[in-house]
Structure 1
Amino acid sequence: MTLTATAPFQPLAELPPPALGEREWLLECHCARPVTDLLKSRGWDVVADLDCNVHCSSPDQRVYVGFLPQSREAAGGELWHIHVTDKDGTTAWRQTFGPNTPAQAVAGFLAALIAFPTRYCMCV
């Protein structure tokens, strides 16, 4: 049996994005899973402590990500902690996110950080 195409293949057109008024924005994921799944898939160490806080370290140990729901800082509005250090161990910069920031947004921030393997900006 021989199969022949009678019409050229045409992929389905992409659906147009919804209008801004109809879009469902990230609002409700406040667990650590989207972040820990991303980081585990990239070879990061991920450890949960007895208080249900989660601590993550990059393979080179220069980036720390903490999901700290049982910390004093979380009571003050800082649930997520991200610390980046220079090669000499000094803090290069920090970022925190509050309890109302969806975990997918934190994961997106970290995915962007991971996607740029050099510390230098091309525009400088």
Structure 2
Amino acid sequence: MLSTDHGAGPVLDLLDALGWAIVDTPEANVHATSPDGCVYVGWLPEDPSAWQRNIVWHVRVQPADGDAWVQKFGLHTPSEAVAGFLAALVTHSSC
């Protein structure tokens, strides 16, 4: 069963296990960067501009030789789904 508590646990556990740099802000937002610096993940539950656009998760990929792209997930996207997306991304990424 997928989580309905809208917590960041599954994603943060994955990123921590992968050795990503993770920073918590005083506002309770979380920013994470992959070891190679190519991927950024933001969990933004307390960012007013993100909430206004129904965004809680912000993923930004900057390939070494290509254009950056962004994927955003809303409040109702289970954290397990975001973790699955990120697991697939890092498994198949040549950033």
Query: Is the shorter-chain TM-score for this pair beyond 0.5, marking a shared fold?
Result: yes
Structure 2 residue aligned with 1:31 = 7
User: Which residue, 68, 90, 94 being the options, matches 1:114?
Assistant: 90
- Which has the bigger relative contact order, CA under 8 A and spacing at least 6? 2
| Higher CA-based Rg | 1
Tell me the TM-score normalised to structure 1 length.
0.69
Displacement of 1:59 in angstroms is 0.1
Displacement of 1:91 in angstroms is 4.8
Displacement of 1:79 in angstroms is 0.6
Q: Structure 1: state its 5+ residue gaps.
A: 1-23, 120-124
Q: Structure 2: state its 5+ residue gaps.
A: none
The alignment status of 1:79 with 2:56, answered yes or no, reads yes
Return the structure number with greater helix share. 2
Structure 1 residue aligned with 2:20 = 44
Percent identity of paired positions between Structure 1 and Structure 2: 46
Query: How many residues are matched?
Result: 94
User: 2:3 & 2:76 partners in 1: Cα distance?
Assistant: 8
Q: Say if 1:37 and 1:64 are closer, same or farther in 2 by CA, change over 3 A.
A: same
Tell me the TM-score normalised to structure 2 length.
0.89
Displacement of 1:27 in angstroms is 5.2
